[in-house]
Amino acid sequence: MQQLIEPDPFADALEQYWETGKAKLELLREDGYHNVEDVGGYFTTFQNFWRIEKPALKFAHGRVLDVGCGAGRIALYLQRKGLRVTALDNSPRIAALASARGVRDVRVASACERLPFTRGEFETVILYGNNLGMCGSRAGLVNMLRELSRVTNKHARILATTRAPGTFNPKHRAYWEQRLRRGQEFGAIRLTLKFGASEKEIDWFWIAPSALFELAWHCRWRVAEIFGDGRADEGYAVVMEKR
């Protein structure tokens, strides 16, 4: 019996960029909002990292777990700084790409499930690329933070990027109002990733700094630093410490 291969448009886009230096990924929201992302950003070096990412990376120490590593830009940077990095991605193709680019230790696993590590293995967890919301809901984020607490030691930090649900842009504000009228979870979002003929629906979760402060505390973490420009719906970086 032939096994069906699940579409992976994000992997398609990253592989094409690696081969040709050009690839754009379409993101379609359930209300019709459409955006096109140049995936070249996943291949940048430190000089061209997102401005809010740089100061948070100074807090990386010890053994590092890079969750949702993508093409491996963060893992490669920290490797060059002398840190021992384990990179993680739930896509075997993306994990293979990160390995091909020079990441020494790459595993295939999802942080939205139980991780294949023992208690206290890591001191730093990276969740860049808005990966704090990768489990798709508040409950998913809670479960991930608790699992990351299990696999990190008492001195651990999480370095992450995310954004608040958009309320400044009228198009985004209308979307969140629509979800609230339907009784749907605020901050949870469903997107369709499209690259050529390949499509895949994903769920993501956005959270404002004030809400994250409270949620992290209940999951045995505390928010120690926030980096941004005051418009959290455009993205911010956070440093969380184990408590």
Output the pLDDT for position 4.
Answer: 62
User: What average pLDDT does the segment 207-233 reach?
Assistant: 93
Sign of CA dihedral 124, 128, 133, 138: positive
SS3 118: coil
Identify residue 238 by its one-letter amino acid code.
V
> 């208690």: which residue's tokens?
119
Q: Which pLDDT does position 6 carry in this prediction?
A: 87
Helix (H, G, I), strand (E, B) or coil at 231: coil
**pTM of the predicted structure, to 2 decimals:** 0.95
Note the pLDDT of residue 2. 53
Can you read off the two tokens belonging to residue 242?
Answer: 């184990």
> Where do the domains of the chain lie, and which CATH numbers do they carry?
9-16+41-242 (3.40.50.150)
Alpha-helix runs per DSSP H in the chain: 9-20, 53-57, 73-80, 92-100, 138-150, 170-181, 209-218
Considering only CA atoms, which of 14, 4, 3, 67 is closest in space to residue 193?
A: 14
pLDDT digits (tens, 9 = 90+) for 123-155: 999 999 999 999 999 999 999 999 999 999 999
By residue count, the chain amounts to: 243
Of all residues in the chain, the percent with pLDDT exceeding 90 is 92
DSSP readout, 40-56? GGGG--GGGS-TTHHHH
Q: How far apart are alpha carbons 202 and 208 in whole angstroms?
A: 20
Tokens read off for 190: 């469903």
Residue 86 has pLDDT above 80, yes or no: yes
What is the per-residue pLDDT across 26-83, written as a single tens digit (0 to 9) for each? 999 999 999 999 999 999 999 999 999 999 999 999 999 999 999 999 999 999 999 9
- Six-digit token pair at 208? 């404002």
pLDDT of 237 strictly over 60: yes
Backbone angles phi, psi at 163, to 5 degrees: -150, 160
What pLDDT does 3 receive? 55
Tokens read off for 57 = 């990376």
Q: Could you tell me the two tokens for 92?
A: 């075997």
What is the structure's pLDDT at 8? 97
